[in-house]
Structure 1
Amino acid sequence: MKADERWSGVYSFEDSPFIMEVLTELRDKNTDSIAFRKGLVKLGRYMGYELTKTMDIEEVDVKTPLEKTKGVIVRDRRNVVIITVLRAAIPLMEGLIKVFEHARVGIVSASRGKAPKFEIEMNYIKIPDLRPEDTVIVADPMIATGSTLIKVLGEIEKYGKPKRKIVLGVLAAPEGISRIKEQFPEVEIFVAKVDRELNEKGYILPGLGDAGDRAFGAPLKVS
């Protein structure tokens, strides 16, 4: 895990060969939907493991079949709320919940409009009440303009004041990170890699394309 010196509280996993290998497969335009979804699940799981390194632990006594010894409990792991931004984050959430099996899960359906306005439409919001001991993890694979996450983070504030608010993604553009940190400086951001830039259509470069379309085959059509 590497701290990005351009912002406070922003981290990437560029120092993890395994995570970088999975990301390489996701970037490949020849990776099919099944392999793409599995790759997102892998990243959710292994990035979740890395997140536990930043959580509070408690030393406890434990009795083995032979004697008494010391062990640890990751207390924060039992107080996690995962907010899943539909639809691309579903596989990412599946991986996260393998690590945070006690997590409560919230769902937000949000879609970003076309350039240059990138207006955000939110069709469904279901977020559990948040407690002071909670760590909220907002899962969204692509942090591009940051517009969707700013909207989601604004909604989260209506449900309580948790201990930590984390955005977890696969790729981020510097522009999106800067916008999020300007409005929510307390939010921590963890991504596999911070990419170079956005193009005029709001896509991350070099990126990996539209994560939702690549994971589920075709654009979601709402009737």
Structure 2
Amino acid sequence: MVINLGKQHSLLSNWVSELRDVEVQNDRMRFRKNLERIGEVAAYEISKTLAWEEKEITTPLGIASCKVLQSQPVLATILRAGLGMHNGLLNYFDKGENAFISAYRKHHADGSFDINIEYMSCPELEDKVLIISDPMIATGASLVKAIQYLKEEGVSKEIHIVCAIACTVGIEFILREQPKATIWCGDIDDEITAKGYIVPGLGDAGDLAFGQKMQF
């Protein structure tokens, strides 16, 4: 399932437009903040789909019957680009456990690339809701490989994927590999370059958020 949050014409669409804008991109703090805001909106929308239970809460004046989450999700992100969105998700699911995956593209001289994963820190996932964030879904290869690694820690009962911009090619690949996953995105683009970059997209989210990196 794919849910394009940008179709609701909310403030989220404003934040996505700023992420794309080459002039606004010069402000790294604003870029990171907009990723965080999109993560917060996604967290709120995802929360509507989760399991809740009734709980009696003692107030200074009596007892209130309230609805609370049955269990907290595990929040995962792909370093380093995903940190901004992860913070937004964590602002809302503030009691959730966290997982971090270091995944990057290893480029070759012919223009092709492989997805390398060098580090993962993860809690037990068995029978838990997994929410994984990455600002851009281009080919979808990084997310699929990250989810495969995470599944080695146990099979989660639900998988939610959060991104700012997704490409149709990447969406189709993810849903072929993870058909039960739900993708929440701020917008969807149809074009991708031969080197795996989304058009019009927004560029390299990691570089825009944290500065340029050396290529290895």
| TM-score where L is the length of structure 2 | 0.90
Q: Distance in 2 between matches of 1:117 and 1:180?
A: 19
- Say if 2:122 is the partner of 1:127: yes
Superposed CA deviations along residues 7-52 of structure 1, whole A, max 9, x for unmatched, are: xx11110214111011111111112211101111111112111111
Q: Distance in 2 between matches of 1:124 and 1:188?
A: 25
Which secondary structure state, in structure 2, belongs to the residue aligned with residue 102 of structure 1?
Answer: coil
Aligned twin of 1:105: 98
Within the candidate set 171, 182, 185, 1:177 is matched to 171
- Say if 2:49 is the partner of 1:57: no
Q: Distance in 2 between matches of 1:87 and 1:28?
A: 21
For the aligned residues, what is the CA RMSD? 1.8
Give the AA of the match of 2:98. V
Where do 1:1-223 residues align within 5 Å? 9-14=1-6, 15-31=8-24, 32-66=27-61, 68-76=63-71, 78=72, 80-114=73-107, 116-132=111-127, 134-220=128-214
CA 162–65 in structure 1, closer or farther in 2 if over 3 Å, else same: same
Range moving further from structure 2, 159-168 or 62-71? 62-71
CA 157–206 in structure 1, closer or farther in 2 if over 3 Å, else same: same
Where structure 2 has 5 or more consecutive residues not aligned to the other structure, the ranges are none
Which structure ranks higher in relative contact order (CA pairs < 8 Å, sequence separation ≥ 6)? Answer: 2
Q: Distance in 1 between matches of 2:4 and 2:58?
A: 38
Alpha-carbon shift at residue 66 of structure 1 (Å): 4.6
Q: Is the 8 A contact 1:112 1:119 kept in 2?
A: yes
Aligned length: 211
Range moving further from structure 2, 36-45 or 213-222? 213-222
Considering fraction of residues, name the structure with more strand.
Answer: 2
Give the AA of the match of 1:37. R
Which secondary structure state, in structure 2, belongs to the residue aligned with residue 159 of structure 1?
Answer: coil
Q: Distance in 2 between matches of 1:157 and 1:181?
A: 16
Superposed CA deviations along residues 60-97 of structure 1, whole A, max 9, x for unmatched, are: 34455455443211224x2x111110100011111110
Where structure 1 has 5 or more consecutive residues not aligned to the other structure, the ranges are 1-8
Alpha-carbon shift at residue 111 of structure 1 (Å): 0.7
Alpha-carbon shift at residue 221 of structure 1 (Å): 5.7
Q: Is the 8 A contact 2:112 2:195 kept in 1?
A: no
Q: Distance in 1 between matches of 2:203 and 2:119?
A: 24
Q: Distance in 2 between matches of 1:183 and 1:196?
A: 19
Q: Is the 8 A contact 1:118 1:147 kept in 2?
A: no
Q: Is the 8 A contact 1:170 1:192 kept in 2?
A: yes
Which secondary structure state, in structure 1, belongs to the residue aligned with residue 152 of structure 2?
Answer: helix
Alpha-carbon shift at residue 201 of structure 1 (Å): 2.0
Q: Distance in 2 between matches of 1:64 and 1:171?
A: 43
| TM-score where L is the length of structure 1 | 0.88
Aligned twin of 1:4: none
Overall identity of the aligned pairs, in %: 34
